[in-house]
């Protein structure tokens, strides 16, 4: 199943690259997309064929549903590849911009752990909790 999923992924990725030559996916990006497809394919297989198959007709009845699931998973792959091509870079950029807005560690007052435990264990009066 994983080998077939890998073949489907390779073919879909080759088609996607023809239409999207510019965003280059890293090895990690490709691995996430490939692994995601394999996991979704295995889950779909278990869902379709996981029940008891007592006679050949049971298998024949499930085959069209399996074909539909594979078609759906394959058709969703270009969107997943586009996601992998854009989101990791956007997250890195967001992370860099956020880290510039945080105060430095030297400006944050660090409390001893013992004091934090006392503060967190302090009882709260019911009157102090607003009712909304």
Domain ranges across the chain = 2-103
Per-residue model confidence as pLDDT tens for the chain (132 residues): 788 888 999 999 999 999 988 878 889 989 999 999 999 999 999 999 988 888 888 889 999 999 999 999 999 999 989 888 888 777 777 777 766 555 555 554 555 555 444 444 445 455 554 554
State the pTM of this model: 0.64
Asked if 91 and 28 touch (Cβ cutoff 8 Å), the reply is no
CA distance 116 to 14: 55
């Amino acid at each position: 199943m994983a080998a077939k999923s890998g073949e489907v992924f390779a073919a879909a990725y080759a088609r996607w690259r023809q239409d999207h030559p510019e965003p280059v996916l890293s090895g990690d990006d490709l691995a996430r997309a490939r692994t995601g497809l394999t996991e979704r394919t295995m889950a779909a297989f278990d869902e379709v064929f996981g029940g008891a198959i007592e006679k050949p007709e049971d298998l024949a009845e499930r085959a069209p549903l399996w074909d539909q699931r594979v078609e759906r998973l394959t058709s969703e792959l270009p969107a997943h590849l586009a996601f992998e091509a854009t989101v990791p870079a956007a997250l890195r950029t967001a992370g860099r911009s956020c880290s510039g807005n945080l105060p430095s560690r030297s400006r944050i007052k660090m409390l001893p752990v013992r004091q934090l435990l006392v503060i967190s264990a302090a009882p709260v009066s019911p009157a102090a909790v607003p009712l909304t």
